[in-house]
Structure formats: C-alpha cells, structure tokens
Amino acid sequence: MEVKNSRLESIVEQMAEAVIATSETVDRLAEQIDALTARLNQQAQQVQQQGYQIVALSNAVQTLAENQDQSLERLNYIADTLRILMSQQTENHHSKS
C-alpha cells in the first residue's frame, strides 16, 4: 500500500508540475499576444494617419492643378491683351506714317 501511495504522490506531483508549467506557458503566450495586439493597434493607427496624409496630398495636388489652370488662363489673357495692344500700336504707327 505504501508503494501505491508513493506512486500516487509522484503522479500527483508530476501532474501539478505539468499544470504549473502549462500555466506559465499560457501566461507567456498571453503576454506575447498582448504585445502583438499593441503593435497591430499602433500599425493600424499609422495606416490610418497615412490614409489621412494621402487624402491631404491628393487635395493639395488638385488645388495646385486648379491654380495652374487659372494661371494659364491669366497668362493667355495677358498674351491676348499684349497682342491687341501691339496690333493697335502697329496700326497707329502705320497711320502716322
């Protein structure tokens, strides 16, 4: 009977050690999962910020394109006005001659 008790005690002790080792492993895995979750959340925030930056850059490029179109229209207007003035000046010069 004493041998059986000793064997049972040994088995229970081994089981207890296995439970403790398993608990420690689960704790380490939980810490690693928490760290990964924190990293993923940080990366998600970075991706969101990059999305906002892309939208802002897109808006800026659109504004620049619109401004360039307006500038070209103004330059064309100025060029047309200069052509008119030059032709008027040429006409005035010819009429005086």
Note the pTM of the prediction, 2 decimals.
0.58
Query: pLDDT tens digits, residue range 1-49?
Result: 787 889 999 999 999 999 999 999 999 999 999 999 999 999 999 999 9
**Which pLDDT value is given to residue 24?**
98
As a whole number, mean pLDDT of residues 66-76 equals 96
Per-residue pLDDT at 81 exceeds 70: yes
Q: How far apart are the first and last CA of the chain?
A: 141
Please give the backbone phi and psi of residue 85, each rounded to the nearest 5 degrees, phi first.
-60, -40
| Token pair belonging to 85 | 């003035």
